[in-house]
Structure 1
Amino acid sequence: MSATNCKVGVLAQETLAADIRRLTVAWTDPRPEYRPRAGQFFMLRSWSAAETPVLSRPISVHDADAEAGTLTFLYQVKGEGTQKLAALRPGDTLSLTGPCGNGFDTAAAAAAGRVAVVGGGIGVAPLLLLCKELAAAGCRPELYVGFRDEPYALEAFLPYCGAISVATDSGAVGYHGLVTGILHPENFDLVLTCGPNVMMQGVYRLCAAAGVPCLASLERRMACGLGACLGCTCHTKVGPRTVCQDGPVFKAEEVFDLA
């Protein structure tokens, strides 16, 4: 895995919902090893080493446009670090380390046949680049997304997905209930998912019952993002693994139980 440290300029900061932001920065590194892939993330920092929080914030890549020279991050404002990121305006700078982690193998996924992509809440963040890469590989995935209330950021998915199905906890849009209530894995050859652990556990159980392989992108608190500190180690059925380096994408059966 190759990762670079650099300062980049902010091009845009958009508010999509009360606590959801879309941050676009300039990214013109031409080296192939630093071209982000779906499921990878960067460590973001807009404050000095003398300021709090101590650690950078891991944010997944929402979109990457080599032609336009941009990187886009979709994130939720939850604590001091993301509050400082949300304060950035066009012309400001921030530090990036990445791309980090092992993402989705979209060529292999596209070759599998019919693909469902399932997201929940801010777990939709890495799924736009995933759907773009799948479409570029000749596969138009079906997207299933769940939100508490109003959906956000879905218009960007339209060119790349064969269909988009929405579930909301409140019933404000689409199916009233969990996204697992509208997912039928038996209609697909592969399911790719990112979101809250409880949602991905449910997706995995449906897939296991249907005999359909499932890959899950995990989220963990991270310190270095490069596998050096072992702070994001998770226990899997094949032994301890770091989410930042071995993941964040894993075979669902390695990280979730059926019980």
Structure 2
Amino acid sequence: MAVIITNRSLADGIYMMEVAWEGVVSPGQFFMVRAWETDPLLSRPISVHDYQDGVVTFLYQVVGKGTAILSGMEPKNTIQLEGPYGNGFPAVDTPLVAVGGGIGIAPLYYACRKFKEDNPKKKLRVYLGFSNEAYRVEAFDAIADEVVVDVGGIIVGQVDVKRGETFITCGPRVMMDALCQVVPEKNPVYVSLEARMACGMGACLGCSIKTAEGNKKVCKDGPVFPREVLEG
């Protein structure tokens, strides 16, 4: 069991939880999170928003019974964490561009912070799109060279593509598909996918998706994939 340090609302239906946990976490990985006995039946997969000094941070949206229970948890309460699971974002040494939509910004922050930590002289640009209300913008402002925010519009339409940059993205599938169309093939693009899952380890096949390379499990083969896997 892990002890909750903080759990607070950032925007309508958006919460950020800090939990004491010791281990190794790569940007883009996720945990199976549980704060109940039997109902709901399944744990909830939640991506790591940040990990530093023994504190793992989750940025999550209340969308059902499980996340509603999580939103009501208080400091010093305990939750169950299984993981971290999955393949995360690869380490890159080119300039980096992150494009996030809504709660899809969650796994991008840790990836961006680690990138800047490892490559302080390389440029980091961030594009954040929201439907109704922006959140966590100040956190990205603190680490990025440039942050573009759009509320109510189409963030991909504002993305400026430069030669030699690597892109990472998470958000609605339609947004990520549009980004892959905008970014030339010479620029690598890594997409983080979401899927319903029961185990997080690839055993239940509940998160299987069709790709250009056959069926893939989001939890084990992903959740981060190069865009080539999704094309074709």
The bucket for the TM-score relative to the shorter chain is over 0.9
Q: Deviations over 1:192-234 (max 9, x none)?
A: 11111000000001114x6322110001011100111111011
Quick one: which of 165, 182, 188 aligns to 2:148? 165
Note the residue ranges of structure 1 that are not aligned, 5 or more in a row. Answer: 1-6, 30-34, 170-176
1:64 aligned partner:
51
Separation (CA, whole Å) in 1 of partners of 2:213 and 2:12: 40
Give 4+ residue runs of structure 1 displaced > 4 Å after superposition. Answer: none
2:74 aligned partner:
89
Matched, 1:13 2:15: no
1:47 aligned partner:
36
Deviation at 1:52, TM superposition (A): 1.2
Q: Deviations over 1:61-114 (max 9, x none)?
A: 001012xx21100000000010011110001000000100000112xx2x2x22
1:80 aligned partner:
65
Separation (CA, whole Å) in 2 of partners of 1:188 and 1:160: 20
1:181 aligned partner:
157
2:128 aligned partner:
145
Contact 2:60 2:106 in 1 (8 A): yes
1:192 aligned partner:
168
Contact 2:16 2:60 in 1 (8 A): yes
Residue identity in the other structure for 1:45: R
Deviation at 1:115, TM superposition (A): 1.5
Deviation at 1:28, TM superposition (A): 2.5
Report % sequence identity.
42
Deviation at 1:185, TM superposition (A): 2.0
Separation (CA, whole Å) in 2 of partners of 1:127 and 1:140: 15
- Stretch deviating more after TM superposition (179-188 or 227-236): 179-188
Contact 2:163 2:187 in 1 (8 A): no
Pairing 1:79-118 to 2, within 5 Å after superposition: 79-106=64-91, 109=92, 111=93, 113-118=94-99
Provide the TM-score with structure 2 as the length reference. Answer: 0.95
Residue identity in the other structure for 1:17: A
Paired residue secondary structure (1:53): coil
Contact 1:185 1:191 in 2 (8 A): no
Aligned residues: 230
Contact 1:201 1:256 in 2 (8 A): no
Separation (CA, whole Å) in 1 of partners of 2:113 and 2:101: 18
Provide the TM-score with structure 1 as the length reference. Answer: 0.86
Deviation at 1:187, TM superposition (A): 4.8
2:117 aligned partner:
136
Contact 2:97 2:125 in 1 (8 A): yes
Contact 1:44 1:96 in 2 (8 A): yes
Once superposed, what is the RMSD of the aligned Cα atoms?
Answer: 1.3
